[in-house]
Amino acid sequence: MVLPEEFGWPQDIGALGILDGAGLPGPGGRFPIEAVRARIGRRLYLLPRFRQLLYTPRRGLGWPLWVDAPAFTIADHVGVFPLAASAGEAQLLAACEELRQRRLDRSRPLWQMWFLPGLTEERVGLVMKVHHAIADGVAGSRPSARSSTSAPMRRPRLRHHGHQRASPTGGSCCATTCIDGCRGSRGSCPDWPTRLAPCAGSGARGLRHARCSPRGVPPGPA
């Protein structure tokens, strides 16, 4: 999902929604972006990929994989794009096109969300853009629903390894990628020790990483 970008073909997908903004503007008619960011931030545990980066190892050390972002600021991902007062459909679509042309920053988690106040009848536009490596097709609508719904959601129970993965260094990314290819199960990949053999030349760091059980390791992006 990332290779086409090397040839100038953006791989992000987007969605447009219209929200009922009655009673939403704060003092002076200003959109309460700080409160909205705080609410969305409290629900990001439901979307682990929204706090991860796509890490590309050096040539020959494996495929791209997801790692935890060393720093995360929600203001980099949730913003306001005000429309002119009483804007109509033409102004809304023009704003969507302008936002669509903004490329996602590969040094940050690959998603962005904008609120577009100013529509008639106190409505607010919502534009969300997600990289194809995170969501595909109908699945692209789920991040928006999970991050913006007001319905309570129970925090999921995580295994001891959680969803986190630090950025690999040296030969460890090679071992990690080989394990990812086994799709997290020795049973479905009986020759996994053989697949890890090429990592022997990657140094002791890679071998130490390879000794961990592949069971439960989340696969990297396609």
Q: Annotated catalytic residue: which of 132, 161, 163, 209?
A: 132
Q: How many domains does the chain have?
A: 2
Residues 26, 78, single domain; the answer is: yes
- pLDDT of 150-186, one tens digit each? 555 455 444 434 445 565 554 444 434 433 444 444 4
| Confidence at residue 35, expressed as pLDDT on a 0 to 100 scale | 93
Question: Is pLDDT above 70 for 203?
Answer: no
| Confidence at residue 56, expressed as pLDDT on a 0 to 100 scale | 86
Model confidence at 110, pLDDT cuts 50, 70, 90, reads: very high
Question: Is pLDDT above 50 for 202?
Answer: no
Instruction: Establish if 163 belongs to a structural domain.
Output: no
Domain that includes residue 79, residue range? 3-148
Structure tokens at 81: 């794009």
Burial (Cβ within 10 Å: 0-12, 13-18, ≥19) of residue 154: exposed
Question: Is pLDDT above 90 for 19?
Answer: yes
Structure tokens at 57: 């190892």
Structure tokens at 196: 């890890």
Residues 35, 111, single domain; the answer is: yes
Question: Is pLDDT above 90 for 127?
Answer: yes
The mean pLDDT of the chain is: 73
CB-based contact 171:61 (threshold 8 Å)? yes
132 is catalytic: yes
Residues 82, 10, single domain; the answer is: yes
Residues 118, 181, single domain; the answer is: no
Query: What CA–CA distance (Å, rounded) separates 81 from 62?
Result: 39
Question: Is pTM, for the whole model, over 0.85?
Answer: no
Domain containing residue 126: CATH number? 3.30.559.10
Instruction: Establish if 47 belongs to a structural domain.
Output: yes
